[in-house]
Amino acid sequence: MNDALLTLLKQVDTPTVCNAIETAQGKRGFAAFTRGTMQASDPGACAMVGYARTARIAALAPPTEAPEVIKARRMDYYRHMASGPRPAVAVVEDMDYPNCIGAYWGEINTTVHKGFGLSGALTNGVMRDLGDLPNGFPVVAGSIGPSHGFVHVREIGTPVTIMGMQVRDGDLIHADRHGGLVIPPEVIPTLKAAIHKLQDTEKLILEPASADGFDFDAFEKAWTSFEASRT
């Protein structure tokens, strides 16, 4: 991913990228995206873009392993998040889903991850401390809650599932208040052009529809041009 593509991806929303991927692939049916309604810590924030740093946590019940094992794994987790290619996004699956209660993403943890240089966090789990999270580190989560429960790290760098979306460590992620998606590696060389093509195509219907005097005849003409541009 070059700098020009990264800059563009930060400027567009996740639905645009979802459609642009289908434009790049030349067909509908792209399915590597989250399902259901997610919660955004900062709905007005720019999209988070980066390579996934994955982990799995749990919080409903206390850990059964020895305390020293849990502590060592916690440090391994932070070492994993602090390393690897940048930009990066923390993609953390809560294994208690759909009964998540442990707000792993609060003021302290988000500040630590931002300090590591990550672009944000994507999780099916819980966030809290809204209003106290650091600027420039958006969290897109499955829910909001007050407690951390017995939260502890279970796995690091393994494949995870976030709201129906499967993610491997190192996958390229795009996420905002709509949810998240995994950008297929094969579309990266043509994705910038696909986004621009999509934006130009949408103007064929959006500009007439926003103009004074728009009626069915204007719609029919605009829609004909719009559909022709997509084939």
Res 231: pLDDT: 54
- β-bridge mates for residue 179, sequence order: 176
Res 105: pLDDT: 98
Q: Structure tokens of 224?
A: 């004909």
Q: What are the average pLDDT values for consecutive 10-residue runs of the chain, which has 231 residues?
A: 93 96 93 97 96 98 96 98 97 98 97 98 98 96 97 98 98 98 97 94 93 94 86 54
Asked if residues 43 and 122 have their Cβ atoms less than 8 Å apart, the reply is no
Q: Domain ranges in the chain?
A: 31-183, 189-229
Contact partners, residue 129, CB within 8 Å, separation at least 6: 103, 106, 107, 110
Contact partners, residue 65, CB within 8 Å, separation at least 6: none
Q: 31-183 — its CATH code? A: 3.50.30.40
Residues in the chain: 231
Res 40: pLDDT: 98
Selection from 57, 18, 35, 137 nearest residue 89 by Cα: 137
65/74 Cα distance (integer angstroms): 13
156/164 Cα distance (integer angstroms): 19
Selection from 107, 105, 108 nearest residue 90 by Cα: 105
- Mark residue 216 as left, alpha or beta (left: phi above 0; alpha: psi -120 to 50; beta: remaining): alpha
